[in-house]
Amino acid sequence: MANTIQQFNVPASYRDSKLKWNGWGYKDSYFELTKNNNVKFAGDKYEICGSTMSQVRPWIEKNLGGDVNWKVPSQNLAECKVPVALVNQPFIDALRAAGLSYSNAPAHRLVRAHGQTMHDMMTLRYGSFARVPDLVVWPRSESDVTRIVELANTHNVVIIPIGGGTSVSHGVECPADEPRAICSLDMALMDKIVWIDRANLLCRAEAGIVGGVLEKSLNDLGYTCGHEPDSIEFSTLGGWVSTRASGMKKNKYGNIEDLLVHVNFVTSCGLIQKQCQVPRISCGPDLHQVILGSEGTMGVITEVTIKIFPLPEVKRYGSLVFPDIEHGVNFFREVAAKRCQPASLRLVDNQQFVMGQSMKLDDQTVWEKFKASLSKMYLTSWKGFKLDEMVAVTCVFEGSADEVDFQERTLYDIAGRHKGIVGGEANGRYGYRLTFAIAYLRDLAMDFGVLGESFETSVPWDKVLNLCRNVKNLIAKEGAKHGVQFGMLNSCRVTQVYDSGAAVYFYFGFNSRGLKDPMHVYESIESAARDEIIACGGSISHHHGIGKLRKAWVDTTVGPISISVMGAIKNELDPKNIFANNNIIDTPPSKL
């Protein structure tokens, strides 16, 4: 039986009006096939909008068995079956009495029931969720959050905070067996900069502010926060802290834990906040480290103070080509040992390099195409590089003109010792230019039955090559074992450089044509790959977090005593298990 829709003072939300309900990003931005079956990017929000990539379809056909005549389009939003809401009427009445905005409309509940995993997208396109939030609440201030948490404790209602909805860990997914009403706490209205301290280079902002909005606001004043994850357009400041996020320019500005100075955290027991704002304090264990990566299991992040930096005088791109991945990784190791990494440094393997070449825009000039042809001839005929082995590095340099010049000279000198060849600024710029648009390609691929995803890890330097090789070999074997009939996307990228190791991304995808249960195949391959990562000395996650997706590997990553400590802190801060999203560690079954 359908619920009676109950709403009060529902705000206009860009999540509901501007973003796709069953895919990545903006509704008006997407890859499409033209009448000539070429791939084109529609919209007006990205540099490549309106451009055609005529080599993408042939690459997909050759490597993944794609067929433009075999489509598996998504169901319509109206066809989605949304579970009937579990109504806790006293809680709803208390929200209204407090003047707090809420809604239990099916559409509001559905779009806050998921993140961006392949499982999420497959469920939205072809199935239904067993459980979604029963109610959405929009706080406008920290005092609103405090009141909502108090009411949830009084009326025994579960709270699952949501920021940008970009989770790739099932972090905002509702536990299907939760007997209590579940409230999605949407932080979208807490999106303001509270203050900027120019003297101490600090910025205080509400947790719901979207990363891209925060960065533009700072840029307009001559500053940057330096944190630039691939999801920056949609992920939020609070989400970054909640998942221990990392950005592409970590080398210069640090990860989120390096940028964090102060955080307000509303728990069932009250507000956690330091009583002073200093660059460092020696006063027992740092509770910031408990809040970082807590993934909504203990409370709600409401305000965050981070470091900011003057905008760099110069930003320059660069690229390099190496004969194979071993030379590329050894180059990275020397860069790390000498601590001369630029703001960003990325190494892609051969398959990803070749795929990237297929995504070149058709609007290149004749001269640009001629230069590209000469470059290819130079690498293969004169330098002896093999097209099926060469790899590429893209770089971003930031600083003063003198600093950037020095960084470039130093980096390229080291590259030369590892047989690296400078590829020019244009190639580097294009590589980063694609960063924010490439995420949209998955939606088009799914229309033609191609499932694809990425996952990441961190690993010591002496195990990087072995891990890359073993995980890719395992993915290939698992694909064959599970009956994948066509070629696979099976590639990796070394994406962050540390003194003692690196972060590595893996990308895999396959054509689901001929498979009885594509999602089972996908999840089986991914699970086996994660087992192999652990066996090869990697971690379960570098920056995506755990959620519910990676819980099976937490014990082998941090050990049982650490899990007990996390559970004890959780029980102390949330004795009624109000924050029962069941992320990271298992919690006892809830009681009505």
> Has 540 been labeled as part of a binding site?
no
> Has 587 been labeled as part of a binding site?
no
Distance CA 268, CA 249 (A): 35
> Has 295 been labeled as part of a binding site?
yes
Distance CA 171, CA 161 (A): 10
> Has 166 been labeled as part of a binding site?
yes
> Has 121 been labeled as part of a binding site?
no
> Has 233 been labeled as part of a binding site?
yes
Among all residues, which ones are annotated catalytic? 505
> Has 420 been labeled as part of a binding site?
no
> Has 384 been labeled as part of a binding site?
no
In contact, 504 and 464? CB cutoff 8 Å: yes
The helix/strand count (H/E) of the chain reads as 21, 22
Nearest alpha carbon to residue 350 among 327, 375, 378: 327
Upper half-sphere CA count for residue 460 (Cβ side, 13 Å): 6
> Has 297 been labeled as part of a binding site?
yes
> Has 500 been labeled as part of a binding site?
no
> Has 246 been labeled as part of a binding site?
yes
> Has 180 been labeled as part of a binding site?
no
Q: What are the tokens at 380?
A: 């293969």
Q: Is the Cα dihedral 280, 257, 580, 159 positive or negative? A: positive
What residues have CB less than 8 Å from 240, skipping those under 6 apart? Answer: 211, 227, 229, 256
In sequence order, the β-bridge partners of residue 326 are: none
Task: Say whether 83 sits in a helix, a strand or coil.
Answer: coil
What residues have CB less than 8 Å from 574, skipping those under 6 apart? Answer: 267, 268, 269, 297, 298, 299
Taking the mean position of all CA atoms in its chain, how far away is CA 227?
Answer: 13
> Has 164 been labeled as part of a binding site?
yes
> Has 437 been labeled as part of a binding site?
no
> Has 232 been labeled as part of a binding site?
yes
Q: In what order do the strands lie in the sheet with 391-399?
A: 421-422, 314-322, 391-399, 344-348, 488-497, 501-511, 450-460
> Which residues belong to the annotated binding site for substrate?
442
> Which residues belong to the annotated binding site for FAD?
161-167, 230-236, 243-246, 295-301
> Which residues belong to the annotated binding site?
161-167, 230-236, 243-246, 295-301, 442
